Amino acid sequence: MKNKVTKAIFPVAGLGTRFLPATKSVPKEIMTLVDRPLIQYAIDEARAAGIEEFIFVTSRGKSALEDYFDHSAVLEAELAAKGKDDLLEVLQSTYMDSGQIAYIRQHKALGLGHAVWCARRLLRADEPFAVILPDDVIAAEKPCLQQMVEAFEENPACMVAAMEVPADKAKSYGILDVKEDMGSVVTVKGMVEKPKPGTAPSNLAVIGRYVLTPHVMENLHHMKEGAGGEIQLTDAIADEITAGRPVHGFRFNGQRFDCGSKAGFLQATVSFGLARDDLRDELMGYLQDVVQHPQAAQ
Q: 196-217 b/e with 16+ CB inside 10 Å = b?
A: eeeebbbbbbbbbbbbbbbbbb
Q: E strands of 194-287, at which residues? A: 204-212, 247-251, 255-258
pLDDT computed for residue 160 by the predictor? 95
- The residue length of the chain stands at 298
Mean pLDDT across 6-20: 88
pLDDT computed for residue 228 by the predictor? 64
Q: How far apart are CA 163 and CA 141, in angstroms?
A: 17
202-243 pLDDT per residue, tens:
889 999 999 999 999 988 877 776 666 677 888 889 888 988
Question: Are 142 and 54 in a shared domain?
Answer: yes
Domain count, the chain: 2
Q: Domain with 229 in it: what CATH number?
A: 3.90.550.10
Does 2 reside within a domain? no
* Of the listed ranges 25-29, 150-154, 275-279, the one predicted with least confidence: 25-29
Question: Are 56 and 107 in a shared domain?
Answer: yes
Domain coverage including residue 285? 262-298
Are the C-beta atoms of 53 and 47 separated by less than 8 Å?
no
Contacts of 243 (CB under 8 A, 6+ apart): 215
Q: E strands of 116-194, at which residues? A: 129-132, 136-139, 158-164, 174-181, 185-193
Question: Are 191 and 282 in a shared domain?
Answer: no
* Of the listed ranges 16-25, 128-137, 203-212, 273-282, the one predicted with least confidence: 16-25
In angstroms, the Cα distances linking 277 to 31, 249, 285 are 22, 34, 14
Question: Which backbone phi and psi does 125 adopt, to 5 degrees?
Answer: -65, -15
Question: Are 294 and 228 in a shared domain?
Answer: no
242-282 pLDDT per residue, tens:
888 999 999 999 999 999 999 999 999 999 999 999 999 99
* Of the listed ranges 54-58, 59-63, 114-118, 139-143, the one predicted with least confidence: 59-63
Question: Are 273 and 209 in a shared domain?
Answer: no
pTM (two decimals): 0.88
CA terminus-to-terminus distance, the chain: 57
More confident residue, 64 or 286: 286
Does 1 reside within a domain? no
Question: Are 44 and 112 in a shared domain?
Answer: yes
pLDDT computed for residue 298 by the predictor? 54
Q: Is the pLDDT of residue 3 over 80?
A: no
Question: Are 114 and 13 in a shared domain?
Answer: yes
